[in-house]
Amino acid sequence: MSVRRWFGFGAALVAASVTLAACAPAPESGGTDAAGTDCVRMVTNSGGLEDRSFNQSSWEGLQQAEDELGVDAEAIVSTGETDLAPNVQQAVDSGCGLIVTVGFELAEATLEQATANPDLAFAIVDETVEADNVKPVVFDTAQASFLAGYLAAGVSKTGVVATFGGGNQPPVTLFMDGFVDGVAKYNEVHGTQVRALGWDKAEQDGAFTGDFEDINKGKALTEGFIDQGADVILPVAGQVGEGAASAARERGGVSVIWVDSDGYETLAPEFRPIILTSVLKNTQDAMVEIVGEVQDGAFTNEPYIGTLENGGVEIAPYHDLATLVSPELDGEIEGLRQAIIAGELVVDSPSRP
């Protein structure tokens, strides 16, 4: 569910003039006292801070901004739906001039607070809210997922791969569209018939767990795919993906493609032997860039769109499973990357930002 709304604040508001305000002392209604410093507050979605996904990577980017730009950053952690709106209110009450919210769950609260506080700058990660003082931070993950799908088809020994999502939402299905298109491209190039389970791009429907927290659901769904012969799995479901990794590790002969961050680095070490690659969102650099823009008085509501060309999306190294990827296959993937960057190959999706 993408929230794409426009509202005007009148001629008095010029988006580029929004600057990072010094934090004022916390009012009685709540907030963190960081008086005298430039500051930013980030509100997580219900997945929490250490979700091994874009909450965590966004926070790492703001920590980097602390080190490089001297901004004071704090995260306000949501653990459920009822936390979302109050947490955004708390972020606004902090007196900070930049509020970062993460994910589609926070779209409504972000829009409400941006409307009420036109002098503040807002950025929302992985969602689009159209407003004069809100910068969407989105990623064309279909581009990198296309490479991952081609890779999956190329290393599969069974001729069956699979993907599933946490929910049928554009930031999720964008991965899935790219993945199945990459598999189809491999079949076209090699004359093979590798099947991709879990997603029908034409119908825009497939396999979903219905949430992003229940690891057991991810494990059960993955076991079903493995029973159908799948030996490479792409879970697009936040923490639920750990269930897929558990199933792959227990069954053997199955590898997992992680999303958002490098699963080899962020998951528990016991999962490293089954991580083939990860579809990366470079949220860290986006956060540093946006903080710098706000500090410099150069903030606008123009979306930040991560692509292969600007390094906003990519696939991670193959790590322990590099021996599965022949030099020929790796070369083909590099050729596809360059073709996408050059615009010679367009990875299309109804969910493209």
Local mean pLDDT, 10-residue blocks, the chain (353 residues): 32 36 37 50 87 83 94 93 95 95 94 96 94 96 98 98 96 97 98 98 97 94 98 95 97 96 94 98 93 93 96 97 98 98 97 92
Query: Looking at residue 80, what is its pLDDT?
Result: 86
pLDDT for 36 equals: 27
- The model's pTM is 0.83
Distance of alpha carbon 259 from alpha carbon 281, whole angstroms: 8
Spatial CA neighbour of 309 closest among 140, 108, 94, 120 = 140
pLDDT given at position 55: 85
- Number of other residues whose CB lies within 10 A of the CB of residue 342: 9
What is the DSSP secondary structure assignment for residue 155, as one 8-state letter?
H
| Token pair listed for 201 | 């791009």
* pLDDT attached to residue 56: 86
What DSSP string describes 166-217?
A: SSS-HHHHHHHHHHHHHHHHHHHHHT---EEESEETTTTEE-B-S-SS-HHH
pLDDT the model gives residue 46: 82
